[in-house]
Structure 1
Amino acid sequence: MNIDAHQHYWDPKRGDYGWLTPDLALLYRVFGPDDLAPLRKSANIERPVVVQAAPTIAETRYLLDLARSEDSIAGVVGWAPLHSADAPAIIDEFVREPKFKAVRPMLQDLPDDTWIEHAPSPKAIERLIDLDIAFDALIFARHVPSLIKFAERYSKLRIVVDHGAKPQIRDRRDIAWQPWADGIAQLAALPQGLFCKLSGLATESNPGWTDETLQPYVAHLLEQFGYERLMWGSDWPVLEMNGSYTAWHDAARRLTSHLEKAEQDAIFGENARAFYCL
């Protein structure tokens, strides 16, 4: 089964997407399963994993409600207030829904780059481990040292790095490459075997990106994580700001076409199925 390991549904009228403003005219509308269905069909993607886009309990409930009535949704990555004493109880509420698979604090948007080192409640993280709920890390290269400390502290927590840690591909290569490349190598070398999403690269590029633009970054992610720990995601509809679902999917297929079929199948479905326990 081909799986999109990272996409979003939202309704701006809900009012809790702080980053989603009318200035982002292309994104400032409802995006739901009916919008994604023809795009998935064109790329032969059977099911998506839907990821939170607002740091609120209400939005996670909204996604879980949607997942109950939408068979195509394979899993939901939600949000929980991991710093709060209430976090274990909230996680317990969410886990009653069989499609609740992971939590994601929006680390890239927090004013404290070291938040993940000290703010989450140990009881909340231990609850995730006890329930076998995964953790999505939305980071830039500057967050890598703190994420390493967090991962070393909670070595039994299943962690996936979103969007390849968002290399700034729109910058000059000498600026974009480091410290991103070293950070990826450090994360990939952690003994618990972090996973990584092959997603978001088109979003971080300049308009008019090509396979050649993305190739060094895809090659580095493959070299460090191997096909066994990479999973393809669209980052739709954010992707629409700098590309299309079909263009990014086809580019990712071409950039991994040197792999064996079973290895490509792992990146485009099996790894997401296994990691998220779909």
Structure 2
Amino acid sequence: MSAAGAAGAVSGGRIDAHQHFWPWRDHPQDYAWMSEPLAALRRDVLPHDSLPLMQAGSIAQCLAVQARATPRETAWLLDLCATAPQIAGVIGWDDLRAPDLPQRLAAWRAHPQGERLKGLRHQVQDEADVPAFIASPEVNRGLRAVQDAGLVYSLLVRHGQMAGVPAWAAQHDRHWLVLDHLGKPPVGAAAGDPAWRPWEGHLRALAALPHVAAKLSGLATEATIAGDLPDSARSAMRRCWDIALDAFGAQRLMFGSDWPVLSLATSYADNLALFSDWTSRLSAAEQSALWQGTARRVYGLSGLS
């Protein structure tokens, strides 16, 4: 099936709410986070690379999520949409601290593919002082502008950085916030590790906020980047999904692969099989929400085809 054919058959289809694409050869300097252990990612990754994987797994559409902190990332991802109709929406980047952010957002909307811009994200996990970042008046002003523009903001933090995030999120309830990768729980830690308890507490505090949703994504690479996902990690991932389901309910959770970063730990097909097996015990309504309904509602994708 061609990309155009895939797009023509996606109405109501499953959505992968978290994929990345990047022009690494043209801009390697933009990807400093691809350290030596992640060297396998240092290649161009484009929508036609994931399309066969999506088709084989009955995934109709995806969300393209920023991977670099530069405005040209947003422009590049929106440009991709013109030739990759399987991209249902873009989660781009812009500087939350920019005083002219509302004008910048309006300019993105005027892009030929501007209707595909569904949200913004910043790699808060890479900030040297996360509490100072989220307390910044400029950042908070910018986040209000993002929500006033009807755009979703993605929260990217690690489990050890979550302490102040629920209180921060509570201040920004004008539109959806989405927690990426469930806050990167300590999947590689033993079941009795003390790191689990604060992660779960912070996750439940976020779940208590009705404007916060979360992605069931990115957990495999928190366990390993050796390309062989151990059984202990698979069990830990299921436990994380169980906790998230109990806290959020299916109506505020969505599937995401985190491909191609996922490929450092396991294959796209293996991840789908693991997630499908976990969802098999759920009701049809819950499965529909996890695979597509939540993403369509949160990101406003219902009008896309």
Bin the TM-score by the shorter chain: over 0.9
Match in the other structure for 1:105: 122
Note if contact 1:202-1:209 (Cα within 8 Å) is conserved in structure 2. Answer: no
Give percent identity, aligned residues only: 34
Which amino acid letter does the alignment assign opposite residue 298 of structure 2?
Answer: F
C-alpha separation in 2, matches of 1:238 and 1:129: 28
Match in the other structure for 1:147: 165
- 1:132 to 1:240, Cα distance in 2 relative to 1, 3 A: same
2:230 pairs, out of 209, 226, 241, with 209
How far residue 144 of structure 1 moved from its aligned partner, in angstroms, is: 2.4
Q: Deviations over 1:90-119 (max 9, x none)?
A: 222122301000010111111111112225
Match in the other structure for 1:267: 290
C-alpha separation in 2, matches of 1:124 and 1:118: 10
How far residue 22 of structure 1 moved from its aligned partner, in angstroms, is: 5.9
1:46 pairs, out of 41, 52, 60, with 60
Q: Deviations over 1:29-49 (max 9, x none)?
A: 011111101110111000100
C-alpha separation in 2, matches of 1:71 and 1:152: 35
TM-score by length of 1: 0.94
Q: CA RMSD in A?
A: 1.6
Q: Which ranges in structure 2 are unaligned for 5 or more consecutive residues?
A: 1-12
C-alpha separation in 1, matches of 2:274 and 2:117: 30
Q: Deviations over 1:1-54 (max 9, x none)?
A: 100000100111223122125653311101111110111011100010000000
2:21 pairs, out of 9, 19, 29, with 9
2:135 pairs, out of 114, 117, 127, with 117
TM-score by length of 2: 0.86
Note if contact 1:85-1:121 (Cα within 8 Å) is conserved in structure 2. Answer: no
How far residue 180 of structure 1 moved from its aligned partner, in angstroms, is: 0.8
Asked if 1:194 corresponds to 2:212, the answer is yes
Match in the other structure for 2:197: 178
Q: Secondary structure at the match of 2:235?
A: helix
Which amino acid letter does the alignment assign opposite residue 133 of structure 1?
Answer: L
C-alpha separation in 2, matches of 1:36 and 1:123: 36
2:264 pairs, out of 234, 238, 241, with 241
C-alpha separation in 1, matches of 2:173 and 2:273: 35
How far residue 177 of structure 1 moved from its aligned partner, in angstroms, is: 1.4
How far residue 69 of structure 1 moved from its aligned partner, in angstroms, is: 2.3
Q: Which ranges in structure 1 are unaligned for 5 or more consecutive residues?
A: none
How far residue 124 of structure 1 moved from its aligned partner, in angstroms, is: 2.5
- 1:226 to 1:117, Cα distance in 2 relative to 1, 3 A: same
For structure 1, which segment, 232-241 or 174-183, has the greater mean C-alpha deviation from structure 2 after superposition? Answer: 174-183
For structure 1, which segment, 125-134 or 98-107, has the greater mean C-alpha deviation from structure 2 after superposition? Answer: 125-134
Which amino acid letter does the alignment assign opposite residue 196 of structure 1?
Answer: A
How far residue 173 of structure 1 moved from its aligned partner, in angstroms, is: 2.2
C-alpha separation in 2, matches of 1:198 and 1:74: 18
* Count, aligned residues: 277
- 1:202 to 1:130, Cα distance in 2 relative to 1, 3 A: same
How far residue 59 of structure 1 moved from its aligned partner, in angstroms, is: 1.2
C-alpha separation in 1, matches of 2:247 and 2:241: 10
